[in-house]
Amino acid sequence: MRVTPFVLLVAATFGGAALAKLPPPTPEAKAKTDETAARTAWSDKVAAYQLCQSMDRTAEAYRARVRSIGKEAPPAEATPPCTDPGPFSYTPPSAKPLEASEAHSPAGNATSPPSTPAHAVDVTGPKRSP
C-alpha cells in the first residue's frame, strides 16, 4: 500500500497544530474557569445530598413494608446524617498583595555598622603614587 504525498501533507499539517502550545488564559478566562469548577463541585454535593435522602426514604419504606406484613424489620445501620450543601455561593479569591506574591523587595536600610571595623585604607591598601 502506497501513502500519497497528499495524505502525508495533511498529517503533517494537523500533527503540527496538535503539538502547538496554547497561550496562557487571560485573568477573566481563569476566573470563569474557577467559578465553573466551584459550581461543578457544588452540584456534585447537591447530587450526593439528594442521593442520601433518597436512600433514607427507600430504607424507611422498606422497614415500614416489612412491619406492615408483621415481620420484624432489621435494625437501621448508623449512618452519618445527610448534609445540605445550601445555595451556591462563589467568592473569587482576592488578589495577593505585592509582598505576598513573592515579589522581591528592596533591601532595608542598615541598622548597624558592618560586622568588621575595617577602614577603607585597611581593605584597599594605601594609595600608590604613579
In a domain, 35, yes or no: yes
Q: Which three cell numbers stand for residue 50?
A: 439528594
In a domain, 34, yes or no: yes
pTM attached to this predicted model: 0.55
70 close to 99: Cβ distance less than 8 angstroms: no
Count up the domains in the chain and report the number.
1
- Shortest CA distance to 66 belongs to which of 76, 81, 77? 76
Contacts of 46 (CB under 8 A, 6+ apart): 85
| pLDDT 10s digits, 33-47 | 999 999 999 999 999
Decide: residue 114, CB within 10 A, 0-12 exposed, 13-18 middle, 19+ buried: exposed
What rounded mean pLDDT belongs to the chain?
Answer: 80
The answer to whether residue 107 scores a pLDDT higher than 90 is: no
Q: Tell me the three state secondary structure of residue 54.
A: helix
Structural domain boundaries, residue 52: 27-72
The answer to whether residue 89 scores a pLDDT higher than 60 is: yes
Q: Tell me the three state secondary structure of residue 15.
A: helix
In a domain, 5, yes or no: no
d(CA 40, CA 50): 15
In a domain, 3, yes or no: no
